[in-house]
Amino acid sequence: MKTFRTLLFSFFVILINSCDNDNDPANNVCDTTYVSSAITNAFSSANGYDDIETMDLETHEYSVKINAAGEICSIGYQNPSTYTGGYTMEITNITTGISYSGVHTFSQTGLDYQSIATPVQVNSGDIIIVKRTILPGYTMLNQTIGRILRKSNYANVPYPITQGNIEFLSSNFYGTGGPVPDFGQPYIALGFQVY
């Protein structure tokens, strides 16, 4: 019985110690901060960006290169103060053609992560398109706005921008207007599990 308790205790210690987010391939967990930390650091106020709700177009998207092997396992977004409805969220690995598309509704009070039904596999250096499109049926144009990191001097974002293993390549806004390329960085986060 003592051996069983020791074995059970060892199992729980291993389980608890394996649930961190340090990008250690031995700890295969979905790290929700993997892309959000890169967005927050690269597009900070110290780097000349404002965090605002703007751009009244239906689709907000950006392209990114992830320089690590793994899978995109969740998506994070925050509904603007003007809209409580849903979005079609899309993640496409344009290097391999693997994609995810699903309808999600997010919190208005903070960044809200949701698991995706089919994780998107990523090889180091793959280019990913991340897209949020408001669902049909919204009633006011101001409901299409979203959280964006915009240059304080109103200049376009000088892509590419690299932060750690993430290289932000471009952004685009369109639908009922546009396209408006590189206006700002949409704050659409990705959870990533490193292999």
Q: pLDDT of 93-115, one tens digit each?
A: 999 999 999 999 999 999 999 99
- In terms of CATH architecture, what is 50-194? Sandwich (2.60)
Nearest-angstrom CA–CA distance, 67 and 194:
10
Nearest-angstrom CA–CA distance, 96 and 85:
31
Please report the pLDDT score of residue 3 as a whole number.
53
DSSP, collapsed to helix, strand or coil, labels residue 146 as: strand
* Domain positions in the chain: 50-194
Please report the pLDDT score of residue 8 as a whole number.
39
Q: Is the pLDDT of residue 14 over 60?
A: no
Please report the pLDDT score of residue 1 as a whole number.
52
Mean pLDDT of the chain, nearest integer: 89
Indicate if the alpha-carbon torsion angle 22, 24, 29, 30 is positive or negative: positive
DSSP, collapsed to helix, strand or coil, labels residue 10 as: helix
Please report the pLDDT score of residue 22 as a whole number.
45
pTM, full prediction: 0.85
Please report the pLDDT score of residue 10 as a whole number.
41
- What is the average per-residue pLDDT within 46-75? 98
Q: Is the pLDDT of residue 158 over 70?
A: yes
Nearest-angstrom CA–CA distance, 46 and 193:
29
- Specify the amino acid at residue 29: V
